[in-house]
Structure 1
Amino acid sequence: MIRLEKLTKIFDTPNGQVVAARDVDMEVPEGEICVLLGPSGCGKTTALKMINRLVSPTSGKIFIDGEDTSKLNDVQLRRNIGYVIQQIGLFPNMTIEENICVVPKLLGWDRAKATSRAKELLDLVGLDANLFMKRFPKELSGGQQQRVGVIRALAADPPVMLMDEPFGAIDPINREVIQDEFLKMQAEIKKTIMFVSHDIDEAVKMGDKIAIFREGMIEQYDSPDTVLAHPVNAFVADFVGADRTLKRLRLVSVEEVADPNAPTVSRHSKAKDVLSAVQQSIARVAVVIDSDHKPLGYVTADMLEGARGNVGDLAKPLPAVVPFRADLRAVVSEMFAHDIMWLTAVDDAGRFVGVVTQPAVTGALGETYRADVAQAMT
């Protein structure tokens, strides 16, 4: 857990004093990611750097797991905090293994323990330890170097990580991949993380909480869903964008809205036997599945009306399927692309898990608004 109390930083410049951060109050629960967001010069990076004392606070307190960090010297403090920056900063004359083991070596770990930790972390971010341990940074792509930079910060298993625009220099495709890898890793390691970004889409994807900064102060600190659904003022609303309702699509997974009770039928079923179930379904559609529960096609109520024979003879190919782990942006994109109002969702093995409809997507976006109205009325 990280707690900042009245944290303030004033810089003395030739033109007078500049307040970079003013009375920053916030608490990041253990195991959560908090994204600091705001325009350039708003104080977010200064707030981050005060935590590991790269910038010394003018006033205020910082607590990590309840301990006042002002009572620790710089070396003690920084050895308990992982730090990742956009420029990566790998040592070019060291192998990947040596880069990862820098802090464990400083802490006195024996070689076998440090090497084992390096292999474990490489595997965690999808890099084969047998291939990468003895390579040098120049032999890796930018995205691979960034992954190594992240896991190097984790090598000594610090309770807290600070990340300053860690994926900002990566191209959009690789950035998505690395973000996904990082979130999978975070689901296992559950570090407490402060993460600076300038990208609202990245913040919504990565953060359990978002802190919106302006002129050194926090304008709003809340969950991504609440920030998008209920910005506290015009500044926050403008910053997160006029399309903030659409951004909320990223926050809901297919699994959360798919109807697992949507009709499924064998291709050997008789058309007349399944018509009633299809007519009563929301999408008026049934998914045709094989013996392994994998979707083969679909039939609609209109197709079954008065039809004879087996469903398999009538079925049409599915226009698209979506993974149940995908977010609703993927659903909406596929619906627009194929001009349809429903999609079949599948699990990692390609088995049917439900049907997602356009009304279900709309309903999911409205839940936060309805909940707040209900709360206000109680």
Structure 2
Amino acid sequence: MIRLDELTKVFGTPAGDITAADRIDMEVPEGEICVLLGPSGCGKTTTMKMVNRLVEPTSGRIFIDGTDVTKTDPITLRRRIGYVIQQIGLFPNKTVEENICAVPDLLGWDRKKSRSRAAELLELVALDPAVFLKRFPKELSGGQQQRVGVIRALAADPPVMLMDEPFGAIDPINREVIQDEFLRMQSEIKKTIMFVSHDIDEAVKMADRIAIFDSGKLIQYDTPDDLLAHPKNNFIADFVGGDRTLKRLRLITVEEAMMKDPPRVTADDSLSDAVAKMEEHGHQSIIMVGPRGRARGAIRLSDARGQKGRVGEHYSKLPTTVRINEDLRNAVSAMFSADETWLACVDDDGNYKGYITQRGITHILGATYRDQ
């Protein structure tokens, strides 16, 4: 847990004092990612650097897991906090293994323990230790260097990590991959993370909570969904963008928006039974499932009404399906690509779990605004 209590930083300049951080009060719960956002010079980076005292606060207090770190030796403090920067900062004359073990070595870890930790961490970010441990930074791609930079910050198992635009220098394709890898890793290790970014889309994807700053002040501190649905003022609304409703698609899973456990038919059912089920539930189509419950196709009411025979003789193949653990952004994209207004929703094994419609997505997005 990180708690900032009335944290203030004033820089003295020839032109007069500048307040870079003005009485910042906020708390990052244990195991969560907090992304700090705002325009250039707003105070977000200064606020983060005060946590490990790379910038000393003018006043206020900083607590990490209940301990007031403003009374801790700065060098000792920094060795207990993981720190990742955009420029990565790997030591070029050291191997990947030696880079990862830099802080554990400073802390006097047993050599066998620290080297084992380096191999574990490489596996965590999908880099084969047998291939990468003895390589030098110049032998890695930019994305691979960034992964090593992230896990180096984790090597001594710090309770807190600070990240200063860690993915900003990576090309868009690799950035998505590394972000996904990092979120998968975070789901396992559950570190408390403060993360500076300039990208609202990255923040929405990565954060449990977002803090938006302006002119040294913390303007709004909220979950991504609440921030997008209920911006506190015009500055926040403008900052998150006019497409803030569309950004929320990333935050809602298909499972949350779908109609669960709808009626279904099998290949051996009669068309008359399929028609009866559709009419009973007011549906224009119904999914045909296989013996194990997997979605195999669909029957439309307009095609089945008045016809005889079995469902298996008349069904149409599904143009596509969407997995229940995907977000609504992927679901909408799949709908548009297939030119459909609804999709069957399946689990990772292809079992039919429900269906999702454009109208249902519109309703779930609009419900939050209606509740204001």
Using the size of structure 1 for normalisation, the TM-score is 0.94
RMSD of Structure 2 on Structure 1 (CA): 1.6
Residue by residue over 1:322-369, the C-alpha shift from the partner in whole angstroms, topping out at 9 and shown as x without a partner, is 222211111112222323111122222333332112232123213333
Alignment of 1:77-116 (within 5 A): 77-116=77-116
Secondary structure of the residue aligned to 1:298 is strand
Give the whole-Å Cα distance in 2 for the aligned partners of 1:360 and 1:105.
Answer: 55
Give the whole-Å Cα distance in 1 for the aligned partners of 2:127 and 2:292.
Answer: 32
Residue by residue over 1:8-64, the C-alpha shift from the partner in whole angstroms, topping out at 9 and shown as x without a partner, is 112222332222111111111111111100111111011111111111111111111
Secondary structure of the residue aligned to 1:147 is helix
Show the counterpart of 1:233: 233
Q: Aligned pair 1:146/2:178, yes or no?
A: no
Q: Which amino acid aligns with 2:43?
A: G
Show the counterpart of 1:259: 259
Give the whole-Å Cα distance in 2 for the aligned partners of 1:184 and 1:250.
Answer: 16
Contact conserved, 1:283 with 1:342, CA < 8 A, in 2? no
Show the counterpart of 1:296: 296
Of the structure 1 ranges 111-120 and 348-357, higher mean CA displacement relative to structure 2 is found in: 348-357
Contact conserved, 1:33 with 1:207, CA < 8 A, in 2? yes
Give the whole-Å Cα distance in 2 for the aligned partners of 1:108 and 1:181.
Answer: 30
Give the whole-Å Cα distance in 2 for the aligned partners of 1:2 and 1:289.
Answer: 50
Show the counterpart of 1:30: 30
Q: Which amino acid aligns with 1:206?
A: M
Identity between Structure 1 and Structure 2 (%): 63
Residue by residue over 1:153-174, the C-alpha shift from the partner in whole angstroms, topping out at 9 and shown as x without a partner, is 1111111010111111111222
Q: 1:280 to 1:44 in 2, by over 3 A?
A: farther
Show the counterpart of 1:216: 216
Show the counterpart of 2:366: 366
Q: Which amino acid aligns with 1:106?
A: L
Q: Which amino acid aligns with 2:36?
A: L
Alignment of 1:195-344 (within 5 A): 195-281=195-281, 283-344=283-344
Give the whole-Å Cα distance in 2 for the aligned partners of 1:285 and 1:176.
Answer: 37
Give the whole-Å Cα distance in 2 for the aligned partners of 1:209 and 1:96.
Answer: 32
Secondary structure of the residue aligned to 1:316 is coil
Shift of 1:265: 2.5
Give the whole-Å Cα distance in 2 for the aligned partners of 1:282 and 1:203.
Answer: 41
Q: Which amino acid aligns with 1:92?
A: P
Residue by residue over 1:40-99, the C-alpha shift from the partner in whole angstroms, topping out at 9 and shown as x without a partner, is 111101111111111111111111111110111112111111111111111122221211
Show the counterpart of 1:74: 74
Q: Which amino acid aligns with 1:317?
A: K
Q: Which amino acid aligns with 1:158?
A: P
Give the whole-Å Cα distance in 2 for the aligned partners of 1:319 and 1:50.
Answer: 53
Of the structure 1 ranges 193-202 and 325-334, higher mean CA displacement relative to structure 2 is found in: 325-334
Contact conserved, 1:100 with 1:152, CA < 8 A, in 2? yes
Give the whole-Å Cα distance in 2 for the aligned partners of 1:302 and 1:3.
Answer: 61
Residue by residue over 1:127-186, the C-alpha shift from the partner in whole angstroms, topping out at 9 and shown as x without a partner, is 222222222222222112111111111111111010111111111222111111111111
Give the whole-Å Cα distance in 1 for the aligned partners of 2:260 and 2:178.
Answer: 31
Q: 1:182 to 1:49 in 2, by over 3 A?
A: same
Show the counterpart of 1:376: none
Give the whole-Å Cα distance in 2 for the aligned partners of 1:156 and 1:243.
Answer: 41
Contact conserved, 1:319 with 1:338, CA < 8 A, in 2? yes
Secondary structure of the residue aligned to 2:333 is helix
Give the whole-Å Cα distance in 1 for the aligned partners of 2:15 and 2:120.
Answer: 51
Secondary structure of the residue aligned to 1:337 is helix
Secondary structure of the residue aligned to 1:63 is strand
Using the size of structure 2 for normalisation, the TM-score is 0.95
Q: Which amino acid aligns with 2:299?
A: V
Show the counterpart of 1:123: 123
Secondary structure of the residue aligned to 1:11 is strand
Give the whole-Å Cα distance in 2 for the aligned partners of 1:203 and 1:223.
Answer: 10
Shift of 1:117: 1.3
Contact conserved, 1:294 with 1:352, CA < 8 A, in 2? yes
Show the counterpart of 2:170: 170
Shift of 1:266: 2.3
Show the counterpart of 2:40: 40
